[in-house]
């Protein structure tokens, strides 16, 4: 058994034993066939609602987005859908929030490019099922 520090390797295989990492940074896809244990942390972003349509709405990112400044006319836009992407939106404002998909996509049964609205002080979780479809969980925002 050896100790390796500061090396770059395309593929690493551990056939038996235990590997302990201080930090693991993945820029591509991480696949774990045996499951993953330990805490899972989502990225968190503060976003101010903006614009009045899909084209100028404020951009959201994967993870938790805490949104301010919603007034019933301003909105936010989901990232380009990739199956399995999860975006949680918390509306902290006193007004309703419009949520738009990226161009060409849809949320629930709303027409492509149409807005999905959540009321003041509520939240919704949106999960992409394909490159063009998002679904809210629960299906109706609560």
Q: What is the pLDDT of residues 48-103, one digit of tens each?
A: 999 999 999 999 999 999 999 999 999 999 999 999 999 999 999 999 999 999 99
- CA proximity to 93, closest of 122, 130, 117, 73: 122
DSSP category for residue 140: S
**Cα(127)–Cα(79) distance, integer angstroms:** 11
pLDDT surpasses 70 at 142? no
pLDDT band at 141; cut points 50, 70, 90: very low
pLDDT surpasses 60 at 29? yes
Is 6 exposed, middle or buried, given 0-12, 13-18 or 19+ CB atoms closer than 10 A?
A: exposed
| pTM: predicted TM-score of the whole model, two decimal places | 0.77
100 with 54: CB under 8 angstroms? yes
Cα angle vertex 135, ends 132, 127, to 5°?
Answer: 85
The 10s digit of each residue's pLDDT in 92-123 is 999 999 999 999 999 999 999 999 999 999 99
Residue 88: partners with Cβ closer than 8 Å, 6 or more residues away: 42, 63, 64, 65, 123, 124, 125, 126
**Cα(37)–Cα(45) distance, integer angstroms:** 25
């Amino acid at each position: 058994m050896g100790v390796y520090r500061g090396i770059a390797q395309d593929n690493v295989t551990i056939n038996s034993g235990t590997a302990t990492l201080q930090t693991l940074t993945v820029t591509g896809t991480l696949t774990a066939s045996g499951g993953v244990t330990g805490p899972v942390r989502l990225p968190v972003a503060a976003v101010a609602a903006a614009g009045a349509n899909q084209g100028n709405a404020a951009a959201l990112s994967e993870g938790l987005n805490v949104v301010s400044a919603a007034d019933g006319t301003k909105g936010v836009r989901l990232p380009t859908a990739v199956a399995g992407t999860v975006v949680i939106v918390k509306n902290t404002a006193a007004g309703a929030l419009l949520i738009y998909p990226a161009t060409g996509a849809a949320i629930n049964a709303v027409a492509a490019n149409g807005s999905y609205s959540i009321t003041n002080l509520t939240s919704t979780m949106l999960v992409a099922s394909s490159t063009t479809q998002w679904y809210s969980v629960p299906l109706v925002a609560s």
